[in-house]
Chains A and B, each alone.
Chain A
Amino acid sequence: MDFSNESRVLHRCSAQIGNLLLRSLWHLVHFIISICNFTLDIANVLESYLISSGLLGRYKSLHIAKLRYLAIVIESEGAYQTLKIIELLQWLEAVGVKHVCLYDNEGILKKSKDFILENLDGAILFQDAHENNVLLDQQHMTLEFVSFSDGKEAVAKAANVLFMKYSKSGVTDQNQKEKIFTESQMTEALKTVGSGGPEPDLLLVYGPARCHLGFPAWRIKYTEIVHMGLLKSMNYGSLIKAIYKFTMVRQNYGK
Chain B
Amino acid sequence: MERIRERVIQIYGNLVSLLQKCIFCILSVGPIPNHIAFIMDGNRRFTKKCKLMEGAGHKIGFSALMSMLKYCYEFGVRYVTVYAFSIENFKRSPEEVQSLMDLMLEKIEEILKEQSIVNRYGVRVIFSGNLKLLSEPVRLAAERAMLATAKNSKAVLSICVAYTSTNEIMHAVQESCEEKWDEITLLNSSGAGYGLISLGGYEQDEMDHLIKLTDIEKHMYMAAAPDPDIIIRTSGETRLSNFLLWQSANCYLYLPSVLWPEIGFRQFLWAILNFQQIHFYLDKQRKQS
Contacts and interface: CB of A to CB of B under 8 A. Distances in A.
Given A148-B289, A181-B170, A159 B250 contact: no
Interface residues of A, number: 54
Contacts of B238: 224-226, 249
Interface residues of B, number: 59
B264 interface: no
B29 interface: yes
Contacts of A177: 174
A166 interface: yes
A84 to B, nearest CB: 19
Interface in B245-285: 245-246, 248-255, 273-274, 276-278, 281-282, 285
Nearest to A182: B170
A255 B174 contact: no
B208 interface: yes
Interface stretch (B65-73, B84-92, B146-154): B84-92
Contacts of A158: 173
A34 B91 contact: no
A22 interface: yes
A156 B165 contact: no
Contact of A212 (B241, B249, B281): B249
Interface in B148-173: 164-167, 169-170, 173
A229 B253 CA distance: 14
17 contacts: A25-B26, A30-B273, A30-B277, A105-B285, A163-B181, A182-B170, A210-B254, A213-B250, A217-B165, A218-B245, A220-B240, A221-B242, A223-B239, A225-B240, A254-B86, A254-B89, A255-B89
Interface of A: 22-23, 25-26, 29-30, 33-34, 37, 105-106, 148, 151-153, 155-160, 162-164, 166-167, 171, 177, 181-183, 186, 208-214, 217-218, 220-227, 249, 251, 253-255
